[in-house]
């Protein structure tokens, strides 16, 4: 069993810590809003007062935050993770951030004698709870081999991708598919509905058809009713889409369907849906079609 640290105890981060605790690992955690960590403390997680204290206490430290700016905030400064790292320790960033920002921090981590891996995941809260999460990892192979058994306690599918930053590239490429699939699914459901087919029947057929990817199976029903808590909100989805579009610009890869999806995410934000699950692009399309959506937004 490993001595682990975890910074960022939001919905996914908290559930990961819960799994790690259930596997018998020792976990020291920190979250900007301490009240969100109480349920994990009740399960045996140790609390630290700063990201630095987490990294100092652990052999392997994880972080899962919202974006590049949030990663910078927890990494730098007197109370940051960098200040708590020492020779032989490993830092794994699970966040979806800019690959260039991640590579920059990997260099700074190695200056401390430690090592860093970018290790984003693919899946939802449900797939995490069911133990079906997919994990992508990039960085030095030796560091990957050290932490692979720990990552397998989070999700059974752990894939080594290559040098630092490449797991993030792959995660961004995966996530642009989430947005474009949701757009196509919404278009199909609305076409069926406006032809006279009940929305619920259309969703039932789509989620059991040839186009029923795992994402469509678990998110498709959100066009009938949004979840009480968003699994992946519009702001988060658009952050990843913008990362994809920037990579496309840098690499001369046209991303036309990604660009269109981005516009609908912007429309969703304009309609007051920024904090809803990004499945709400259905409601944007529904209003454009003259059909009532799920009754959300402005």
Residue 135 reports pLDDT greater than 90: yes
Asked whether residue 298 is assigned to any structural domain, the reply reads no
Q: Which of 48-52, 188-192, 194-198, 288-292 has the lowest mean pLDDT?
A: 288-292
- Let me know if 58 is exposed, middle or buried by CB neighbors in 10 A (0-12, 13-18, 19+): buried
Higher pLDDT, 290 or 128: 290
Flag whether 296 is in a domain: no
Q: What is the DSSP string of 201-261?
A: HHHHHHTTSTT--HHHHHHGGGGTS--SS-SSBHHHHHHHHHHHHHHHHHHT---HHHHHH
pLDDT average, residue stretch 92-109 = 96
Residues 6+ apart with CB under 8 A from 143: 90, 115, 116, 117
Structural domain including 179 reads: 169-288
Output the pLDDT for position 33.
87
88/113 Cα distance (integer angstroms)? 6
Q: How confident is the model at residue 160 (pLDDT cuts 50, 70, 90)?
A: very high
Q: Name 129's Cβ contacts closer than 8 Å, sequence gap at least 6.
A: 15
Whether the model clears a pTM of 0.75, i.e. scores above it, the answer is yes
Helix (H) or strand (E) holding 72: helix 68-75
Instruction: Give the CATH number for residue 45.
Output: 3.40.50.720
Write down the mean pLDDT value for the chain: 94
Regarding whether 201 and 84 lie in a shared domain, the answer is no
Do the domain assignments include residue 128? yes
Same domain, 192 and 114: no
From 163, 179, 195, give the residue that closes a domain. Answer: 163
Whether residues 109 and 177 share a domain: the answer is no
Q: Which comes out higher in pLDDT, residue 1 or 79?
A: 79
| Helix or strand holding residue 161 (H, E) | strand 157-162
In 3D, which of 118, 172, 107, 168 has the Cα closest to residue 143?
118
Given 140, 163, 186, the domain boundary residue is 163
Choose the final residue of a domain: 163, 187, 220. 163
What are the tens digits of pLDDT across the range 242-268?
999 999 999 999 999 999 999 999 999
Average pLDDT for 98-114: 96
Please answer whether residues 74 and 109 qualify as being in contact, where contact means their C-beta atoms are separated by less than 8 angstroms: no
Q: Give the rounded percent of residues in the chain with a pLDDT score beyond 90.
A: 85
Query: Is 294 domain-assigned?
Result: no
Give the lowest-confidence range in 80-89, 118-127, 185-194. Answer: 118-127
User: Quick one: 115 and 7 in the same domain?
Assistant: yes
Residue 23 and residue 139 in one domain: yes
The confidence score (pLDDT) of residue 133 equals 86
Helix residue ranges, H only, 119-233: 125-129, 141-152, 166-194, 199-206, 214-219
Per DSSP, which regions of 13-156 are E strands?
26-30, 46-47, 60-63, 90-93, 115-118, 121-122, 134-138
Residues 152, 17 within the same domain = yes
Q: Is the pLDDT confidence value at 290 over 90?
A: yes
pLDDT at residue 228 greater than cutoff 70? yes
**d(C-alpha 171, C-alpha 34), whole Å:** 29
Task: Place 81 in a pLDDT band, splitting at 50, 70 and 90.
Answer: very high
Structural domain count of the chain: 2
* Same-domain pairing of 85 and 128: yes
Q: How far apart are the first and last CA of the chain?
A: 50
Q: What is the distance, to the nearest Å, from the Cα of residue 16 to the centroid of all Cα atoms in its chain?
A: 12
Torsion sign across C-alpha atoms 128, 231, 98, 31: negative
- Asked if the structure places residue 297 within a domain, the reply is no
The predicted structure's pLDDT at residue 128: 82
Give 297's pLDDT tier (boundaries 50, 70, 90). low
How confident is the model at residue 298, as a pLDDT?
56
């Amino acid at each position: 069993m490993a001595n682990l640290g975890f910074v960022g105890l939001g919905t996914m981060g908290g559930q990961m810590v819960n799994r790690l605790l259930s596997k018998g690992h020792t976990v020291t955690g920190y979250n900007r809003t301490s009240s969100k960590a109480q349920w994990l403390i009740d399960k045996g997680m140790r609390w630290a007062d700063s990201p630095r204290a987490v990294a100092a206490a652990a052999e392997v430290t994880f972080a899962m935050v919202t974006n590049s700016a949030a990663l910078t905030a927890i990494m730098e400064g007197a109370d940051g993770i960098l200040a708590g790292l020492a020779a032989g320790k490993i830092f794994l960033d699970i966040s979806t951030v800019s690959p260039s920002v991640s590579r920059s921090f990997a260099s700074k981590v190695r200056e401390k004698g430690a090592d860093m891996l970018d290790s984003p995941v693919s899946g939802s809260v449900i797939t995490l709870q069911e133990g079906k999460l997919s994990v992508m990892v990039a960085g030095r192979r030796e560091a990957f081999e050290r932490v692979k058994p720990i990552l397998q306690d989070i999700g059974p599918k752990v894939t080594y991708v290559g040098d630092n930053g490449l797991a993030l590239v792959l995660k961004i490429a995966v996530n642009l598919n989430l947005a474009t699939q949701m757009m196509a699914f919404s278009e199909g459901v609305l076409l069926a509905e406006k032809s006279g087919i009940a929305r619920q029947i259309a969703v039932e057929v789509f989620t059991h058809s040839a186009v029923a990817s795992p994402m469509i199976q678990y998110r498709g029903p959100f066009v009938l009713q949004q979840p009480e808590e968003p699994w992946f909100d519009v702001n988060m989805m658009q952050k990843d889409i913008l990362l994809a579009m920037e990579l496309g610009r840098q690499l001369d890869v046209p991303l036309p369907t990604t660009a269109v999806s981005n516009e609908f995410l912007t429309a969703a934000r304009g309609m007051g849906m920024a904090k809803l699950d990004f499945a709400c692009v259905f409601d944007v399309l529904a209003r454009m079609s003259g059909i009532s959506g799920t009754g959300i937004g402005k």
